[in-house]
Structure 1
Amino acid sequence: MSPRSGPPLDGAIDVHAHYVTPRLRAAMVDAGHAEPDGMPAIPDWSPESALADMDSLGVATALLSVSSPGVHFGSDADARRLARDVNTEGAEIAAARPDRFGLLASLPLPDVTGALAEVEHAFDALGADGITLHTHYDGKHLGHPEHEPLLSALDERAAVVVLHPTSPPCWEAVSAGLPRPLLEFPFETTRAVASLVLSGALERHPRIRFVVPHAGAALPVLADRIAAFSLISGGPPIDVAGALRGLHYDLAGFALPRQLPALLALADPDRLLYGSDLPFTPAPVARGLAEALAADATLTAEQQRSMRRGAAEALFPRFARPGPPGAAEPRPDDRSLRGDQR
């Protein structure tokens, strides 16, 4: 069998994978998001199709999260119910296959009170592995003072928080009719992380483990500019480079050939994680990207192993395998896992 005919990855942990429950799909359509963020359609998803795609890539475990536009479509009460529904269903999927799926819980932001209640429920009742946060809520990026109570609660739990971009509030004026993931998503991610850095939120909440999507978006090329402008902000000095180096970065999307080398000037290789962006990235595209990543020489063999598993095992230790971090081992077959609980 040629290398390209088999799975390109070797037991990877995918920290950037999405799920779409029937309840979420119906809510999105009812709220006018049948073409989310300007994309053609809401992709089909089921645990069975996800497992097939994961096996094709060689992904052992996927951390499931809700993508943009999230769960809040205008009503706080409805958003609280929808967040609880999708988180409960995600937890049930993960409990049925604890070797294959984890859960990054969604919050009904900008309802901070509801979000705090859902953090407690997600971790204490559902056993969530982490939280997903979008880059802004109601136009307020994550470093905004309104989010301070939530960040404090997440810091107390040393939570893993995986960021995900969403359309900016001014997308009609700036997107030129193009799907917002094309340009707006990378710049939204950059705005959100800059907000966390420049507001001092990262320094105030050092126990939160943030994962930045899409190979750091525009941060690798704008980090020095952000650092320079921080000097004229009038506030206390900020170690922008140090703050960015303390984050984690997934490699979902088009990290090659240019973005990954630029990211390595900003982030240490042991902070890199694998991400597929399934099912919003179609499975054939995700496979092509994974093949390119596996064949690329930018990362050493040891760094490749860390990116695929080791760095994620450090963040999500329940998925760690015996032996050295990131060590590959045969995956148990489905029959041996029936009845297992998380």
Structure 2
Amino acid sequence: MAQRIDVHHHVVPPAYRERLLRSGTDAGGRDVPDWSPQASLDLMGRNDIGTAILSVTTPGVEPWLGGDARAMARSVNEYCAELAAEHPGRFGFWATLTLPDVDGALAEAAYALDELHADGVVLLANSAGTYLGDPSFEPLMDELGRRGAVVFVHPSALPAEPVPGIPPFAADFLLDTTRAAANLAANGTLHRHPDLKIILSHAGGFLPYAAERIAACLEMAGDERGTADLLTDLRRFYFDTALSASPYSLPGLTAFADPERILFGSDFPYAPAEIATIMTGRLDTAPELDHPAINRTNATRLLPHLA
């Protein structure tokens, strides 16, 4: 049986982890987990994952500005490229960029995609409070669109104070992803760059559930394209299944999303091995899904070299 391709699988390079711990920075309220390449390989073996596409989660390199952020992004990307070379076929990676530093992001995208052969890039839904789709990010989106790049969108903490007792990763992450998706549609980024391939984490937040309302409200707010065209744009996203394989989430996702745009994701190690494995089992037993497509075939359409 063909093995899964995991498009939502995190990496915590040692130098990056040390810097996060030294600065007291967490991942949206989630402590930085212990991680090693072997821990990922063990999780992959346990869940029949052939290839994991690695990415750094929030906060990315946002806590460090200017040259420090650029240097850390370069360090992370070179670490991931070395790991992929050491384990041929087992690891790929989404390159870390430097938003809101657009010039740095353009330079690092070129290096990571052309020299390190990254599978695509990872962008946070918002960077220092500026959401994907904002005109200030257009030079980067234009370049990624020109390349037909794959963009993996991961949520971050909202640019607002969290609710006491509810860490951002519990609920705010879902709104953050949905805000980014709506902004990308409302500002025409998807329309202008039809070759962009954008994956939304965690089944798109609550986008599938609320897409009709979001599109209709954008029309009411003055978007000239109207609800039907906005929904067409929103359906252009890809969606991963990380932490979303429940009998409540999957029916909404499959009712909304193009079945060729649903991809397997584990969210390891921020989702501990036990939880990632439980979610994988629930996905495997969910009825009326094209399991081979979600587990592998849809990803190989995005990343043909993995076929």
TM-score (norm 2): 0.96
Alpha-carbon RMSD: 1.3
Task: Please give the alpha-carbon distance, in whole angstroms, between the structure 2 residues aligned to 1:55 and 1:298.
Answer: 26
CA distance in 2, matches of 1:257, 1:71: 35
1:318 aligned partner: 305
SS in 2 for 1:37: coil
- Partner residue of 1:261? 251
Q: Which residue number in structure 1 is paired with residue 187 of structure 2? A: 199
1:274-314 Cα shifts (integer Å, max 9, x gaps) = 00000000001111111111011131xxx110000000000
Structure 1 SS opposite 2:255: coil
Q: Which residue does the alignment assign to 1:307?
A: 294
Distance apart, 1:216 and its partner CA:
1.7
SS of corresponding position for 2:33? coil
Contact in 2 for aligned 1:190/1:216 (Cα 8 Å) = yes
- Does 230-239 or 13-22 show the bigger shift? 230-239
Cα offset for 1:74?
Answer: 3.7
Q: Distance in 2 between matches of 1:136 and 1:244?
A: 18
Give the whole-Å Cα distance in 1 for the aligned partners of 2:23 and 2:191.
37
- Counterpart residue number, 1:83: 73
Which residue identity is paired with 1:306? A
1:220 equivalent to 2:208? Answer yes
Q: Pick the aligned partner of 2:236 from 227, 241, 246.
A: 246
Q: Given the alignment, which residue of 13, 33, 52 partners 2:5?
A: 13
Alpha-carbon offset, residue 236 of structure 1: 2.3
Report how far residue 232 of structure 1 moved: 2.3
Does residue 1:36 correspond to 2:61, yes or no? no
Deviates more, 1:95-104 or 1:78-87: 95-104
C-alpha contact (below 8 Å) 1:68/1:166 kept by paired residues: yes
1:63 pairs with one of 42, 53, 57: 53
Is residue 133 of structure 2 the alignment partner of residue 146 of structure 1? Answer: no
Q: For residues 16-72 of structure 1, what are the alpha-carbon distances to aligned partners after superposition, in whole Å with 9 as ceiling and x for unaligned?
A: 000001111112123221x43212x21111111111110011100000000011112
How far is the alpha carbon of 1:245 from its aligned partner?
1.6
1:177 paired residue number: 165
Amino acid in structure 2 at the alignment position of 1:15: V
- Provide the identity percentage: 42
**Aligned partners of 1:296 and 1:222: how far apart in 2?**
22
Query: Aligned pairs, how many?
Result: 305
User: In 1, Cα distance between the equivalents of 2:69 and 2:49?
Assistant: 31
Give a deviation string over 1:113-171, Cα, whole Å, max 9, x none. 0000001000111110110010001111001111000000100110000110000111x
Q: Shift of the alpha carbon at 1:213? A: 1.0
Measured after TM superposition, the shift of residue 189 of structure 1 is 0.3
How far apart, CA to CA, are the structure 2 residues paired with 1:235 and 1:258? 31
Name stretches of at least 5 consecutive residues in structure 1 with no aligned partner: 1-8, 321-342
What SS does the corresponding residue of 1:61 show, helix, strand or coil? strand
Say which SS state the counterpart of residue 182 (structure 1) adopts: coil
Q: Which residue, out of 25, 43, 52, partners 1:53?
A: 43
Q: Report what 2:93 is aligned to.
A: 103
Q: Which runs of 4+ in 1 moved over 3 A?
A: none
Shift of 1:270: 1.5
1:23 counterpart = 2:9: no
State the distance in 2 between where 1:203 and 1:247 align: 12
SS state at 1:181 partner: coil
For residues 154-169 of structure 1, the aligned pairs below 5 Å read: 154-169=144-159
Give 1:211's aligned amino acid.
I
Matched, 1:285 2:275: yes
Letter in 2 for 1:263: L
Describe how 1:221-236 pairs up with structure 2 within 5 A.
Answer: 221-236=209-224
User: What is the one-letter code of the residue matched to 2:293?
Assistant: S
**Which structure 2 segments of 5+ residues have no match?**
none
Give SS of 1:231's match: helix
Q: Which amino acid aligns with 1:284?
A: E
